[in-house]
Amino acid sequence: MILIVDALNKDKFHSVLDDMFRLRARVFAGRLGWDVTITDGREEDQFDALDPGYVIGLDEEGNVVACARALQTTGPHMLSDVFHSILDGEPPLRSATLWESTRFCVDTERLGRGRMRGSVSHATSELMLGAVEYAMRSGISDVITVIDPVMDRVLKRSGNAPYDYVGKTVSMGKVAALAALLDCTEERAASIRAHAGIEGDVFLTDEEALALPVIAAAEARTTTAGLRKSPLEAYCDEQIAAATTAKERVDALRLKAALADRVRSHSDISA
C-alpha cells in the first residue's frame, strides 16, 4: 500500500518519515555504499529540506518497506545541483510536466523472496506503480530517475523499462549511477500491474494510514496532548483493532475512511 507524504500532511507522519530516513541510511550508505551523510541513523540531505513529495510503500502493519522522493525539474533538484556529473557538462532538462525521482529503495531485510505480497519484488512493483500514478494524477507526463545499474535491470524486468537515458553512467561509491526516462502513462501503469498482479487502488488515504497499528502506536507516543477521539472514531478504531483477518481489517479501515468526513468534522469542532 502506498502513502504520499508531502509538506501538507507530513506533520501527521513524523514516525513514517523517520522510518523512511532510516531505511534510506541502511540502503544508500550501507548496502550501496553511496557517499551520503548519515545523522543519528538517518539519511537526509538538502533536498529533503525542499518539501519533496515522498512515495512510501507500507506493509500491512504500517512499517515502511519502500520509498522514493519526487521533485519538480523546474526548481532545484539532484540532477541540476548534485548529480551533474551524470549530465557530462550538459544543463539538465527542465519542464513543468517532468518530475525527478531519486532515492528509490526497498527494504530487502524486512521483505521476503518470491513475488507475493510481502516480497521484495511485490513491494518494488507497488512503489513503481505508486510513483507513476501519483505523477499521472498530478498532470505529469514523464519522470527522470537517478538509479544504479541494478535498479535499471529491476525496472526492465518489472514491465517498467526506461524508454531512454540521459547523459552517461558515472561512478558513485561502490556502484554506478545513471539517469533514465520513464513515461507516466496508462500503458506503463497497466504493464507494471500485469507483471506484479496488482489490482485496485494502491493508495492509502491519510486516515487509513494513521489507522495502521505501527503508525497509530508511534503517533500516539509522540502526540503529547492527543485530542480526545470522537465516539465514532473510537468505534472505528476498535473495529480495526478487533479485526482478526486481513479482510476484516480492510473492511474496518474502509468503514473509517468512508466516515472520514464525520470523524474529522467532529474533531474540528472539539479542537
Partner 1 sequence: MSDAFDRGGLIDLAELPDASADFDGFLFDLRDRFGLDHVAYAGMNPINRSVVGHVTYPDEWKLHYAQRGFQRIDPTLHRARRSIAPVDWTRLERDKDYLAVFNEARDFGISDQGVTIPVRGPYGDVGGLSLTSSGPRTDWTALCRQNLHLWQALAVHVHDLVISSDSFSNLLRGPSLSSREREILQWTAEGKSQQDIADILVISHRTVEVHLRSARHKLYALTTAQAVGRAISMSLIYPG
Mark the segment that binds partner 1 (CB under 8 A) among 44-52, 56-64, 108-116, 188-196: 44-52
CB closer to partner 1, 1 vs 71? 71
User: Shortest Cβ distance from residue 38 to partner 1 (Å)?
Assistant: 25
Candidates 65, 70, 76; CA nearest to 133 is 70
User: Shortest Cβ distance from residue 270 to partner 1 (Å)?
Assistant: 14
CB closer to partner 1, 7 vs 116? 7
Segment 52-81, which members bind partner 1 (CB under 8 A)? 52-53, 70-76, 80
The site map against partner 1 for 203-232 (x = CB under 8 A) is ------------------------------
Question: In the beta sheet, which residues pair with residue 2?
Answer: 57, 203
Determine contact, residues 181/165, Cβ cutoff 8 Å.
yes
Q: What share of the chain is helix, strand, coil (3-state, %, to 5)?
A: 45, 20, 35
CB closer to partner 1, 140 vs 218? 140
134 binds partner 1 (CB under 8 A): yes
> Cα separation of 231 and 237, whole Å?
10
CB closer to partner 1, 95 vs 251? 95
- Residue 44: DSSP 8-state: -
Mark the segment that binds partner 1 (CB under 8 A) among 35-43, 136-144, 212-220, 242-250: 136-144
What are the grid coordinates assigned to 222, written together?
509522540
99 binds partner 1 (CB under 8 A): yes
133 binds partner 1 (CB under 8 A): no
159 binds partner 1 (CB under 8 A): no
CB closer to partner 1, 28 vs 134? 134
The site map against partner 1 for 3-42 (x = CB under 8 A) is -x-xxx----------------------------------
User: Shortest Cβ distance from residue 225 to partner 1 (Å)?
Assistant: 16
> Cα separation of 165 and 70, whole Å?
18
Candidates 135, 134, 127; CA nearest to 155 is 127
**Starting from the edge strand earliest in sequence, which strands make up the sheet with 142-147, in order?**
2-5, 53-58, 64-72, 98-106, 142-147, 175-183, 164-172
Candidates 117, 115, 100; CA nearest to 52 is 100
Angle made by CA atoms 59, 62, 63, in degrees to the nearest 5: 70
What is the separation, in whole angstroms, between the first and last Cα of the chain? 30
> Cα separation of 250 and 265, whole Å?
23
97 binds partner 1 (CB under 8 A): yes
Determine contact, residues 131/143, Cβ cutoff 8 Å.
yes
Which residues of the chain form contacts with partner 1 (CB under 8 A)? 4, 6-8, 50-53, 70-76, 80, 87, 90-99, 134, 137-142, 163-164, 181, 183, 268
